[in-house]
Amino acid sequence: MLSRIKLPQTTAMILAGGRVGELSVLTLERPKSALPFAGHYRIIDFPLSNLCSAGINAVGILSQYRPASLIDHVGVGESWDFVGLDRGAKILPPYSAAEGSDWYRGNADAVYQNLDYLRDRQTELVLVLSGDHIYSMDYRELLVAHLERGAELTVALKAMPPEARDRRFGYATLGMDERVLSYEEKPAEPKSDLVSLTVYVFTFAALEEVLLGMKDHDSIEFGRDVIPAMLARERVYGHRFDGYWAYTRTVDSYFAAHEDLLEGQIDIESWMIRTNNEDNSLARQVPPIFRTWSDVDCSLIGEGSLIDGTVHRSVLGPGVRVGRGATIENSILYNDVVVAPGARIRDAIIDKRTQVGQAATIGIAPPGSDVQGPRVTERGIVLIGKAARITEGTAVPRWGVVPPGARVAPGTAGAA
């Protein structure tokens, strides 16, 4: 029935901008929304696939941190059928003025700086989405509920158990009619269990008016500034979401989402639109090869990979090579990683084009006594940056972090 409903002109704005320090070397050269997921995909593919399924095909992607990987991946949106008259996906960098350029001063300022983009499309509804969340949602249900209530803002919310509540979230309380009664951004002690998913539907006229009223602020954030201002207008409603949802802000949460994938909580094949990106070249469009003596269980192996060793509870991207006698356990390897014979890897995330030498170990040895400063993961996960080289016989201990392009040998920084 929803597929038959003609919606007002809707434009999606995806907040894909930033890098967060909690993700360490994984986001040194890419925004967090461009992080690989499930081997073939990127995190931003989740909202893009949701938009495609909902028939929303005018998409602005708001990015300011190293957007090249997003530009290469998204292109003009052809993979999601965003190409055509009045369609398209466009990367929207910070506005460039004659005297220079201004970085986005917060996630709501990113939309403010692109109000002309929304006006040019005669936008009636604005769907604002985070680019770094993992979920499958029918946005049409959200849009229809927004229209039926005559709302100016509708916020998607999810009830979280006590152990999953985090002060980084925003929390809302709802009345009997699902109207938002109060909203707190990043409270020390939340008064509600309803977390904002950073999925908002705005009536464009109301959003434009609020943003124009804040144009002289030093920064503008949706949770801190826009939602409280909209609440004063009294036409703000909540929309409850009961499905799977994960936030990839930290290494541990990103890693846990891959564990959920392997346990079947994420139905990647039905949720996602297959993309034609750098990991889908003709050379990769072949199934992985498993030698008769290889041992693989509870794992996802990308196209064009060659498995000559053992892989347990791991996700391997396209083009990975695992040598004979090598063992990979509970790890994530991006595309074109080469693992030499006899190497052992456990509890690690290894970025693309890294080479792991013969008999090297990653995540096996305990951390050295000289480890100083805050650790980026509570679980002891090892992070290996893009195109690093771990030489023969080297041991990278638990909690180890190797920068992109680094060469790690016995006795060097990063080795045990």
* 297, two tokens: 């269980």
Predicted pLDDT of residue 221: 93
* One domain, residues 251 and 400: no
What is the domain range of residue 224? 2-271
Mean pLDDT across the stretch 71-93?
65
Q: Is residue 25 part of a domain?
A: yes
* One domain, residues 121 and 70: yes
Give the range among 77-91, 200-214, 258-272 with minimum mean pLDDT: 77-91
* One domain, residues 156 and 292: no
Give the range among 14-18, 164-168, 179-183, 280-284 with minimum mean pLDDT: 280-284
Count of the separate structural domains present in the chain: 2
In tens, the pLDDT along 147-170 reads: 999 999 999 999 998 776 777 789
Q: Is residue 416 part of a domain?
A: no
* One domain, residues 56 and 192: yes
* One domain, residues 351 and 262: no
Using CA atoms, how far apart are residues 115 and 99, in angstroms rounded to an integer? 20
In tens, the pLDDT along 307-319 reads: 999 999 999 999 9
* One domain, residues 16 and 146: yes
Q: How confident is the model at residue 282 (pLDDT cuts 50, 70, 90)?
A: very low
Decide which of 239, 271, 303 is a domain's last residue.
271
Predicted pLDDT of residue 95: 58
In tens, the pLDDT along 85-117 reads: 566 677 787 754 434 345 778 899 999 999 999
In tens, the pLDDT along 314-348 reads: 999 999 999 999 999 999 999 999 999 999 999 99
* One domain, residues 244 and 347: no
Of the segments 56-70, 177-191, 356-370, which one has the largest average pLDDT value?
177-191
User: Dmax of the chain from CA atoms?
Assistant: 67
Torsion of CA 113, 118, 119, 122, to 10 degrees: 180
* One domain, residues 58 and 96: yes
**Mean pLDDT for the chain?**
87
Predicted pLDDT of residue 276: 56
* One domain, residues 285 and 216: no
Of the segments 36-40, 41-45, 385-389, which one has the largest average pLDDT value?
385-389
Q: How confident is the model at residue 285 (pLDDT cuts 50, 70, 90)?
A: low
* One domain, residues 267 and 286: no
* One domain, residues 296 and 263: no
Decide which of 271, 295, 328 is a domain's last residue.
271
In tens, the pLDDT along 29-42 reads: 888 888 999 988 99
Give the range among 60-74, 354-368, 377-391 with minimum mean pLDDT: 60-74
Residue 405 confidence (pLDDT) above 50: yes
- For residue 301, give the CATH number of its domain: 2.160.10.10
Decide which of 271, 289, 308 is a domain's last residue.
271
Residue 77 confidence (pLDDT) above 80: no
The pTM assigned to this predicted structure is: 0.90
* One domain, residues 381 and 253: no
